[in-house]
Amino acid sequence: MNLPKVITELVRAQNNFDSAAYAECFTETAVVFDEGKIHNGKAEIEKWIDKSNKEYKATMEPLDYNEKENILSAEVSGSFPGNPIILKFHFEIIDGKIQHLKVTD
């Protein structure tokens, strides 16, 4: 599967529980929508993923990538009910960084 570099970096950062590296995949003004909440800007995204990493220890295994739609399907495993689950990560990428990410099931 041929993923954009920034998505490969995001998956690596997630699987290493590296919140700083995860946040570096985003623009300064990025927006993340996950679990009904919106996280604005790189600093807020780093706080959100750090808390999530500590709580869920979630790892991602990419399953499919739709280049046309910029949607990654991944199996996510961790310490949460019903795991593993398959989630869809909808990306908007600008100049090699993530501007918008929406996580859906």
Q: What is the pLDDT of residue 1?
A: 85
DSSP per residue, 11-27: HHHHHTT-HHHHHTTEE
Q: What is the pLDDT of residue 36?
A: 94
DSSP state of 78: S
- Average pLDDT by consecutive 10-residue portion of the chain (105 residues)? 96 98 98 96 97 95 96 96 95 98 96
Contact 39, 31 (CB under 8 A): yes
User: Which residue in the block uniquely carries the two structure tokens 């996280």?
Assistant: 39
Model's pTM, two decimal places? 0.94
Q: What is the pLDDT of residue 60?
A: 97
Beta-bridge partners for 55: none
Dihedrals phi, psi of 82, to nearest 5 degrees:
80, 10
Domain-wise residue ranges, the chain: 5-104
CATH code, 5-104: 3.10.450.50
User: Which residue in the block uniquely carries the two structure tokens 């800007």?
Assistant: 41
